[in-house]
Amino acid sequence: MQKLSRYQMKGRIVYALAGAVFLCICAIVLFAFISDRPDTSSTPDSGGASYQKITAVKAKEMMDSGEPYILLDVRTESEYAQMRIDGALLIPAAEIRVRAADELPDKSALILVYCRSGGRSAAATRELVGMGYTNVYDFGGILSWPYDTVSG
Q: What is the pLDDT of residue 109?
A: 97
Q: In this predicted structure, what is the pLDDT of residue 13?
A: 76
In a domain, 124, yes or no: yes
In a domain, 152, yes or no: no
Domain that holds residue 124: 52-144
Question: Is residue 72 located within the same domain as residue 18?
Answer: no
139: helix, strand or coil: strand
Domain assignment present for residue 114? The answer is yes
> Domain for residue 42, yes or no?
no
What is the sign, positive or negative, of the torsion defined by CA atoms of 79, 81, 83, 87? positive
Environment class of residue 85 by beta-carbon count within 10 Å: exposed (0-12), middle (13-18) or buried (19+)? buried
Residue 111 bridge partners (DSSP):
70, 136
In a structure prediction context, what are the per-residue pLDDT tens digits for the chain, which is 152 residues long?
677 677 676 767 767 676 676 766 765 655 554 443 444 444 444 455 677 999 999 999 999 999 999 999 999 999 999 999 999 999 999 999 999 999 999 999 999 999 999 999 999 999 999 999 999 999 999 999 999 999 98
Is-contact 107 134, C-beta < 8 A?
yes
Residue 73 dihedral angles phi and psi, to the nearest 5°:
-100, 125
pLDDT score for 15: 72
Whole-number pLDDT of residue 34: 47
Both 81 and 135 in one domain: the answer is yes
The whole-number pLDDT of residue 14 equals 67
The pLDDT value given to residue 1: 64
Q: How many domains does the chain have?
A: 2
Decide if 43 is inside a domain: no
104/133 Cα distance (integer angstroms): 9
Do 123 and 61 fall within a single domain? yes
What pLDDT sits at residue 33? Answer: 47
pLDDT reported for residue 152: 87
- Cβ atoms within 10 Å, residue 63: 17
CATH number at residue 74: 3.40.250.10
Tell me: do 18 and 81 sit in the same domain. no
- Are 73 and 114 in contact by the 8 Å Cβ rule? The answer is yes
Position 46 in a domain:
no
Does any domain span residue 151? no
| Residues 86, 117 share a domain | yes
According to the model, what pLDDT value does residue 46 have? 46
- Cα-based distances in Å from 61 to 24, 100, 126, 139, 146: 33, 25, 22, 12, 13
Check if the beta carbon of residue 91 is closer than 8 Å to that of residue 77.
no
